[in-house]
Amino acid sequence: MNKTLITFCCLLVTCLLKAQKIDLFEEAKKESAKADSNKTELTTATFKSTRLINGHSVETTKKGLLDFRISHRFGRLNQGLYELFGLDNATMRMGMDYGITDKLTIGIGRSTFQKQLDGFMKYKLLAQAKGKNNFPVTVTWVSGIMIKTIRETDPAQKRTTAEKTSYVHQVMIARKLNEKTSLQIMPTLVHYNLVPLENDPNDLFSLGFGGRYKISKRVSINAEYYWQLNKFKGYYNSFAIGVDIETGGHVFQLHFTNSTGMTERSFIHETTGYWTKGDIHFGFNISRVFKIKKQAIND
C-alpha cells in the first residue's frame, strides 16, 4: 500500500512539473510576442541600389555617404557585326548622389546624350514596417530638373536655356513581399517647357512598374517598364531587364533596354527603340559608395 501511494505521488508531482513547464514556456512565448508587438521593425533593402535600372527605386543614400555612379548604354544590337552589335558606340552618364540624412538624398549628373545636365532631390516619406506601427509599403518622392546643353544645328532654331529645360515629379511606392521579391509602381509627371509641336502637351504622365527577384545572396534579376499615358508622336514605352551583382562597396547592374537616354525625360518619353525590331541597347551601371561624413554616436 505504501509503495503504491509513493508511486502515485511521484507520478502526480511529475505531471504537475510538466504542466508547469509547459505553462511557463507558453507564457514566455506570449510575453515575447507581446514585446515584439510593442516595437516597430522597419523593412530594409527593398532594393539593393537607389536605381532599379534606368529609374529610381525607393531606396535613398544613407547619411554622410557619397554614391558615385557611372552608367553606359551601348548602341543597338541590330547594328550588326560592323558596329560590333552596338559596342562601337556608347552614351554615358556620370553622377553623384549624397545622403544629407537617411531619408533625404540630393544628386547631380552629366550625360553625353544631348549633353544633358540633371539634378534631383529625393525624400523617403514613409517606410514599410511591422510591429507596433505596421505599414504595408515604402513611399519615396523624387523631384528633378534636366537641361539640354547640346548646340542647335540650325541657328534659326536657337533655344534659350529655359526652353531646353524640363522637370520631373515622381512618387515611388514599393513593397518587399519577402526576402527574395520586391515590387514597385511609379506614377510620374514630366513637364516640358518647350514641346516639339504646338498641339503637344507640356505635361506628360506615365505609370512605371518595376521589381526584383533575388536568385542568390548577392545577385538579383531586375525589370522595369514605363507606360506612357500621353506621349509625343513617334516614341515608344521604355522597358529594361537586367542583373544586379553586389561586390562589397560596388553594385554592378548589367541590363538590356530600348532606351538610349538616362534621365526621366529621355528614357520615359523620348525612347525611339522598339524591342521587336531589335532596337535594344546593352548597358551597365556601376555604383561605388564613399563615406564622407561619420555619423554621430546618437544618430
The confidence score (pLDDT) of residue 31 equals 56
Domain assignment present for residue 16? The answer is no
Residues ≥6 apart with Cβ < 8 Å to 257 = 53, 54, 73, 238, 239, 240, 241, 242, 267, 273, 280, 281, 283
* Domain annotation covers residue 296: no
- Could you give the percent of the chain with pLDDT greater than 70? 85
pLDDT number for residue 83: 83
Q: Higher-confidence residue: 34 or 140? A: 140
Q: Which CATH number belongs to the domain containing residue 139 in this structure?
A: 2.40.160.40
Residue 94 clears pLDDT 60, i.e. is over it: yes
Q: Which residues pair with 222 in a beta bridge?
A: 212, 242
Question: Is residue 26 in some structural domain?
Answer: no
Q: How confident is the model at residue 42 (pLDDT cuts 50, 70, 90)?
A: confident
Q: pLDDT, tens digit, for every residue of 69-82?
A: 999 999 888 888 88
The answer as to whether 194 is a domain residue is yes
Name the more confident of 198 and 227: 227
Cell numbers at residue 231, please? 506621349
Query: Is the pTM higher than 0.85?
Result: no
- Does residue 16 register a pLDDT over 50? no
The confidence score (pLDDT) of residue 132 equals 82
Tell me phi and psi for residue 93, to 5 degrees. -130, 135
Residue numbers of the domain that contains 252: 40-291
Domain count along the chain? 1
Whether 72 is covered by a domain: the verdict is yes
The rounded distance, in Å, linking the Cα atoms of 40 and 34 is 12
Any domain includes 4 = no
Residue 203 lies in a domain: yes
pLDDT tens by residue, 236-294: 999 999 999 888 767 889 999 999 999 999 999 999 988 888 899 999 999 888 888 76
pLDDT value, residue 29: 53
Q: Give the span between the Cα atoms of 216 and 233, in whole angstroms.
A: 42
Task: Determine the 3-state secondary structure of 73 from DSSP.
Answer: strand
The mean per-residue pLDDT over the stretch 187-197 comes to 93
Please indicate, yes or no, if residue 29 is contained in any of the structural domains.
no
pLDDT bin (cut points 50, 70, 90) of residue 299 is: very low
C-alpha cell at 292: 564622407
State the Cα–Cα distance between residues 262 and 168, nearest whole angstrom: 13
**Model pLDDT for residues 170-179, shown as the tens digit of each residue:** 999 999 999 9
Tell me the β-bridge partners of 254.
Answer: 243, 284
12 phi and psi angles, rounded to 5 deg: -65, -45
